[in-house]
Structure 1
Amino acid sequence: MRPLRIKLVSSLLALAFLGACSAPDRPVQRQRHTRAVLHPSMLRPVVIGRTAWHADEAAVRKGLVYDHSVKAVFVHHTDNPNDYDCKKDVPAMLVALQQQHIALGWDDLGYNFVVDRCGGIYEGRSGSAQRDVRGAHTEGFNTDTIGIAALGNFGAGRKVPRAMLQAIAEIAAWKLDPSVDATGKVRLVSSNGGSRYPKGTAATLNVISGHRDVFETTCPGQALYDALPWIRKTAAALRQKATWAG
């Protein structure tokens, strides 16, 4: 009986060895591909609403247009004196701007946002803090863009307060579409012949541009225009901080 037992044990060992050698490979775990996701809610700055500066809502005309994206930002200055008091004077200055723009035939204050020299950010055109409202700030290029106006005059030789530059960068970082590079270029098509570009002409511009880039004007003033590279880099850095793997 011993030979039979030995033979049986040998057969079992062979089967065990064969089973071990022929076992299927462990499933390979696929690497999860992550993508960078920008979280705009992390970028929203403090915005002072229209009630605070006593906007004349009754004067706002019906027909405001809402866009579905913000592809570019145009920076302006309002050409006001620079020695205003941020707390006492700004509301009246904004009301005057609104009245001036409505007198021109516009629906409301043309700029989506206005920034004062102390870094205060004000909602300009009605609804701009909640939605992508089409402004009346850059003739021929209002569609899918926003206008940010620096309250004051920033021609050559004038100093642009750092708080004001920071505020402009914060708005741009917040409002631009997540897919847009704040330091990059954008292709926009002119909607009328009032700009530097005839109607229907495509223009390749900086995502954050000055009013003068598309219109015959010195706006936003040479000093502020020279600061646009800083605004672009700062906006891009803010967006990078609000981006992580999704």
Structure 2
Amino acid sequence: MRGFLASSIGVATAAVLALPVAFPTAALAESAPAAPAGSTQSLPLVPLGPAATRAPGVPGMSASPGVLPETQGLPAREVKTFSMVGVVWDDVTTQLHGKVQVRTRSAKTATWSDWQDVETHNSEHAADPDAVERGSGRVRGATAPLWVGESDGVEVRVQAEPGASSHRAPSRLPAGMRIELVDPGAETPATGSDGKNSGPEGDDKGEVVAPGMTMEMAESSSANIPHAELGADEITELNKADSTADAVFASDGELSAAAAPYIGPRPRIVTRKGWGADESLRESGFVYTSTVKAAFVHHSASGNNYACKDAPAVLRSLYRYHVVSSGWRDIGYNFAVDKCGTVYEGRAGGVSKAVLGAHTMGFNTNSMGVAVLGTYTSTNPPAAAVDAVARLTAWKLGLFNRDPRAKTTLVSGGGNRYPKGRNVAMNVISGHRDGFATACPGAKLYGKLPTTRTSSAKLQGRP
């Protein structure tokens, strides 16, 4: 399948009162472009006083007797409009052992939300330790992002875990913690670079090569030829027979005869251009592995408070959080699925190719990552989303002759569950927690994987 894998061109009750006149206003930490391209406000957290001197009503933030746990945060303040929040810190290898909570003010109603927990996933969604991406010097530790909708005020509390007993000191918080406030911008970003990836004077970053398309956009879009024409907003759905013919054509005839009968129908896939990815943010070029042996299913842990029409904005925010805030080369997931079952292209490089992602630390090589947008720890995933995961894996795993019901062997790249170099038997469709000690993809979504494997194999036409 060499031709098939070849590179394309290079917490309290809601407050309803308005904020006081002297409300502090945040400054942008980056030289952000106008709203259509999105922006990120990065604000340093500061030490907060003992629990007795803080505003009451923050769940789970009261101090136990003895040594008070370290607490940092940001007092309530007005900021520029944003829709997603997360906390980052300097050293990606440092763990955040504590509780992160935020509350936000709606830009539409001027009311404050209750305090909301932000999942501290401690870099489990990341490039492998030895990956070039991990060693770029830009990568930071980060919590999961939380989608809060259009907001213009924020308050943050981060408290370290208290000591297990009066004889044990509390945990310390990581150095350099900041709150990241992400505005997804408009669905169609303006052409041209926003300065995040610009090179020397005179280079072609941001150069318009076709109406509405820059060089970076053309590079990303061209990776999906011949499945879709240059500049397409979506890759159309195909039946099983046409999916097989399309795959054989795309592989220059190198797709094996054994694999061809078991390629599932190709689902409709919204391209990066279709969801409005600002291609000037990511690193140029693509990185591939040799094959796709397994699919890891995730939840984004960004909350369920989004409508399906908001999914492209959620994706643009995740993308910006992964690249600008966390320092990754691109969005970490290879694909995303929203609660209505729409499938989206994730990391650039071509939907049918073995693109190296940053989704399951230790097992990114020869795998793909699929994130269902939302949090499914105690909430059941919508049937449409589960069905979409089955359809997507039936097609993509079929391209590489993988039986969704089977086991495969992956080599650990290092992580908190398996040491580097160990051969690990995995389900071809696995949950994130199978490769890393984490709650992802949430207990409720993880419980759907056995039926997903069966459905995916049936779509492939396997006996």
TM over 0.5: yes
Equivalent residue, structure 1, for 2:265: 43
Map 1:143-158 to 2 at 5 A: 143-156=365-378, 158=379
Equivalent residue, structure 1, for 2:191: none
How far does the alpha carbon of each residue in 1:153-203 deviate from its partner, in whole angstroms, 9 at most, with x for none?
0013x12111100110111111114432211111111012x2410000111
How far does the alpha carbon of each residue in 1:124-179 deviate from its partner, in whole angstroms, 9 at most, with x for none?
111241422111101110111000000000013x1211110011011111111443
Q: Does structure 1 residue 160 correspond to structure 2 residue 381?
A: yes
SS of the residue corresponding to residue 186 of structure 1 reads strand
Distance in 1 (CA, whole Å) between partners of 2:403 and 2:262 is 14
Q: Does structure 1 residue 240 correspond to structure 2 residue 461?
A: yes
Map 1:26-37 to 2 at 5 A: none
Distance in 2 (CA, whole Å) between partners of 1:71 and 1:36 is 16
Distance in 1 (CA, whole Å) between partners of 2:387 and 2:351 is 18
Equivalent residue, structure 2, for 1:124: 346
Equivalent residue, structure 1, for 2:59: none
Supply the AA of the counterpart residue of 1:200: G
Q: Does structure 1 residue 231 correspond to structure 2 residue 452?
A: yes
Deviation at 1:36, TM superposition (A): 5.8
SS of the residue corresponding to residue 95 of structure 1 reads helix
Q: 2:393 aligns with which of 161, 172, 177?
A: 172
Pick closer, same or farther for the CA change 1:83–1:233 going to 2, 3 Å: same
Q: 2:292 aligns with which of 59, 70, 76?
A: 70
Distance in 2 (CA, whole Å) between partners of 1:230 and 1:120 is 19
SS of the residue corresponding to residue 52 of structure 1 reads helix
Equivalent residue, structure 2, for 1:26: none
Higher strand share: 2
SS of the residue corresponding to residue 312 of structure 2 reads helix
TM-score, reference length from structure 2: 0.42
Distance in 2 (CA, whole Å) between partners of 1:179 and 1:160 is 28
SS of the residue corresponding to residue 69 of structure 1 reads coil
Q: Confirm or deny: 8 A CA contact 2:258 2:401 kept in the other structure.
A: no
Pick closer, same or farther for the CA change 1:37–1:142 going to 2, 3 Å: closer
Distance in 2 (CA, whole Å) between partners of 1:75 and 1:128 is 19
Equivalent residue, structure 2, for 1:204: 425
Q: Confirm or deny: 8 A CA contact 1:110 1:124 kept in the other structure.
A: yes
Q: Confirm or deny: 8 A CA contact 1:113 1:128 kept in the other structure.
A: no
Q: Structure 1, unaligned stretches of length 5 or more?
A: 1-34
Percentage of matched positions with identical amino acids: 47
How many residue pairs get aligned? The number is 205
Supply the AA of the counterpart residue of 1:228: L
Pick closer, same or farther for the CA change 1:36–1:144 going to 2, 3 Å: closer
Distance in 2 (CA, whole Å) between partners of 1:198 and 1:149 is 25
Distance in 1 (CA, whole Å) between partners of 2:446 and 2:315 is 22
Distance in 1 (CA, whole Å) between partners of 2:265 and 2:280 is 31
SS of the residue corresponding to residue 59 of structure 1 reads coil
Supply the AA of the counterpart residue of 1:59: L
Could you tell which deviates more after superposition, 62-71 or 231-240?
62-71
Larger radius of gyration: 1
Q: Structure 2, unaligned stretches of length 5 or more?
A: 1-256
Distance in 2 (CA, whole Å) between partners of 1:45 and 1:39 is 17
TM-score, reference length from structure 1: 0.78
Distance in 2 (CA, whole Å) between partners of 1:119 and 1:104 is 27
Q: Confirm or deny: 8 A CA contact 2:301 2:374 kept in the other structure.
A: yes
Distance in 2 (CA, whole Å) between partners of 1:111 and 1:178 is 19
Map 1:215-230 to 2 at 5 A: 215-230=436-451
Distance in 2 (CA, whole Å) between partners of 1:143 and 1:92 is 28
Supply the AA of the counterpart residue of 1:140: G
Deviation at 1:41, TM superposition (A): 6.4
Q: Confirm or deny: 8 A CA contact 1:76 1:150 kept in the other structure.
A: yes
Supply the AA of the counterpart residue of 1:73: A
Distance in 1 (CA, whole Å) between partners of 2:285 and 2:418 is 26
Higher helix share: 1
